[in-house]
Amino acid sequence: MDERLKLDGFEKKMVLFFLFIFYFVASVNLFAQKIGDISSIIGVRDNQLMGYGLVVGLKGTGDSSAAFTNQTLSNLLKNVNVKLNPKDIKSKNVAAVVVTATLPPFARQGDKIDITVSSIGDAKSLEGGTLLLTPLKAVNGQIYALAQGHLTIGGFNVGQNRGVQAHFTTAGKLYGGAIVEREVVYDIYNRQKAILSLKHSDFNEAVTIQNLINKTFEANLATALDPRSVQLRKPKNMSMPEFLAKVQGIDYYTKQRNIVVVDERTGTIVAGSNIKIDPIVITQGDMIIKITKRSTMNDLAGIFQKYHAKPKDVIAILETLKSSGALKSDLKIN
């Protein structure tokens, strides 16, 4: 592999925060995983929640002139017997936010779930803020959780002549920041049939899993309906939860699936070190990389780190490599 890189314009003392984690793939062609790891039960799924609220306690980095923020704050103060005209509110310590969360299946009242808080006004930063009590609703308009707590801002960036700066500070996480108030009812105990939904569409995989389940239970309990669906019929001597637990615990031998996972918000990239890359010439800004023979992600990562490539440049290169077909793996961007 040959590479050329022009670094004109980069500060010599620039500090780059770039995390590239490699998982070394075993040399064998097959590895065992549980059927539960590669499938889900149709009907047993997550549900998305959303709410609108206020973040307070900001250090002058909140919304400056958003009318909806002032109106919301005015309405909030009315609940504690403080009447104030929204036009008279000049505080920059408050920001209007949208709160999103994922309600997992079978979540019970009192369970805690993680939430993401994102600014919808012109706030400069939510760092150090506290989310006030916010109802989280599903698409049916019903409240399923209540969110509140102190925000955590993640990820870093490098500001020129300003040292290390937190980036994407208008969005943050609150781990365990919402409490489940309403449950999604799903009666699985009394069901006679269930359908496995495979994560990947593959006729061979669906039929193989069908045969594996039937062989394990020594009965025709599984039927492949299509490349992603396998119908299950409960045996008479088991309850449905017990049957599904045994099905999901069956070992399934399959080939290692290569994947590169990118988190654009934090600049984190996770990839297998032996993922193949075909010969190609890469140009990104002042950076030029020429790959003359088939290489691996490990080789490319060495070049990125050697020349202090910025995370956003690395992400852009990986996206282009995938589009061109040179990157021999799946690419998932969060």
Identify the pLDDT of residue 165.
Answer: 52
Q: Do 201 and 300 fall into the same domain?
A: no
**Is residue 267's pLDDT more than 70?**
no
Domain with 205 in it: what CATH number?
A: 3.90.1150
Query: What is the extent of the structural domain holding 92?
Result: 47-180
Q: DSSP assignment, residue 164?
A: E
Tokens 């002032």, residue located: 70
| Amino acid found at 171 | A
Q: Do 64 and 176 fall into the same domain?
A: yes
The fraction of the chain above a pLDDT of 70, given in percent, is 82
**Domain end position, chosen among 117, 146, 180:** 180
pTM over 0.75: no
Identify the pLDDT of residue 300.
Answer: 78
Beta bridge partner(s), residue 223: 231
Q: Do 279 and 319 fall into the same domain?
A: yes
DSSP strand pairing (259-263 vs 330-333): parallel
Q: Do 102 and 39 fall into the same domain?
A: no
Q: Do 229 and 307 fall into the same domain?
A: no
What confidence tens digit (pLDDT) does each residue in 53-90 have? Answer: 999 988 888 888 777 777 777 777 777 777 777 666 77
Identify the pLDDT of residue 146.
Answer: 97
Beta bridge partner(s), residue 98: 52, 118
Q: How confident is the model at residue 7 (pLDDT cuts 50, 70, 90)?
A: very low
**Is residue 230's pLDDT more than 90?**
yes
What confidence tens digit (pLDDT) does each residue in 306-328 have? Answer: 777 777 777 888 888 888 887 77
Q: Do 52 and 90 fall into the same domain?
A: yes
- The answer to whether 181 touches 110, Cβ cutoff 8 Å, is no
Average pLDDT of the chain to the nearest whole number: 80
Geometric angle at alpha carbon 175, from 174 and 179, rounded to 5°:
90
Q: Do 76 and 126 fall into the same domain?
A: yes
List, in order, residues 6 or more apart from 80 with CB less than 8 Å away: none
Q: Do 73 and 156 fall into the same domain?
A: yes
Dihedral sign for Cα atoms in the order 196, 199, 202, 208: negative
Dihedral sign for Cα atoms in the order 192, 41, 184, 113: positive
Q: How confident is the model at residue 158 (pLDDT cuts 50, 70, 90)?
A: very low
Identify the pLDDT of residue 256.
Answer: 66
Length of the chain equals: 334
Q: Can you tell me the distance from the alpha carbon of 108 to that of 181, in angstroms, rounded to the nearest whole number?
A: 8
Identify the pLDDT of residue 154.
Answer: 60
In a 13 Å sphere around the CA of 289, the CA atoms on its Cβ side amount to: 25
Q: Do 160 and 236 fall into the same domain?
A: no
User: What are the distances in angstroms from CA 324 to CA 271, 279, 293, 320?
Assistant: 18, 11, 16, 6
Q: Do 92 and 162 fall into the same domain?
A: yes
The alpha helices in the chain, defined as continuous H runs, are 67-78, 203-217, 240-248, 297-306, 311-324
Of 134-143, 269-278, 282-291, highest mean pLDDT: 134-143
Q: Do 133 and 204 fall into the same domain?
A: no
Identify the pLDDT of residue 30.
Answer: 56
What total of structural domains would you count in the chain? 3
**Domain end position, chosen among 164, 180, 196:** 180
User: What are the distances in angstroms from CA 70 to CA 32, 53, 91, 261, 321?
Assistant: 56, 12, 9, 40, 46
The torsion angles phi and psi of 223, rounded to 5 degrees, stand at -140, 125
Count CB atoms within 10 A of the CB of residue 204: 9
What confidence tens digit (pLDDT) does each residue in 180-229 have? Answer: 999 998 889 999 999 999 988 889 999 999 999 999 999 999 999 999 99
Question: For residues 275 and 176, which has the higher predicted lDDT (pLDDT)?
Answer: 176
Q: Do 229 and 303 fall into the same domain?
A: no
**Domain end position, chosen among 126, 152, 180:** 180
Count CB atoms within 10 A of the CB of residue 283: 11
